């Protein structure tokens, strides 16, 4: 669900996404691939994050995660 608003992290007016953990509305630049904001993602690398997403997507589709 996309909506326009002010990013709760950088304050920029943009399309904002809701953080899956804290519920903050953050812009594309402040949300990670895992669907959580930079603040919640903390020190986790983008790489680790995208792996989580991949696992989740594959799990949702009932596919083998080793693919």
The site string for Zn ion over 12-31 (x = CB under 5 A, - otherwise) reads: -------x-xx-x--x-xx-
- Which one of 38-46, 49-57, 58-66 is the stretch in contact with Zn ion (CB under 5 A)? 38-46
* Rounded Cα gap, residues 67 and 10, in angstroms: 37
Q: Which three-class secondary structure state does DSSP give residue 41?
A: helix
Query: Comparing C-alpha atoms, which of 55, 30, 33 is closest to residue 16?
Result: 30
Is 3 or 67 the residue whose CB approaches Zn ion more closely?
A: 3
Contacting positions for Zn ion (CB under 5 A):
7, 9-10, 19, 21-22, 24, 27, 29-30, 37, 40
């Amino acid at each position: 669900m996309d909506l326009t608003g002010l990013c709760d992290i950088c304050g920029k007016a943009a399309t904002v996404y809701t953080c899956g953990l804290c519920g903050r509305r953050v812009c594309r630049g402040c949300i990670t691939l895992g669907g959580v904001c930079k603040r919640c993602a903390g020190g986790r690398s983008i790489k680790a994050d995208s792996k989580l997403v991949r696992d989740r997507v594959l799990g949702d589709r009932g596919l083998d995660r080793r693919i």
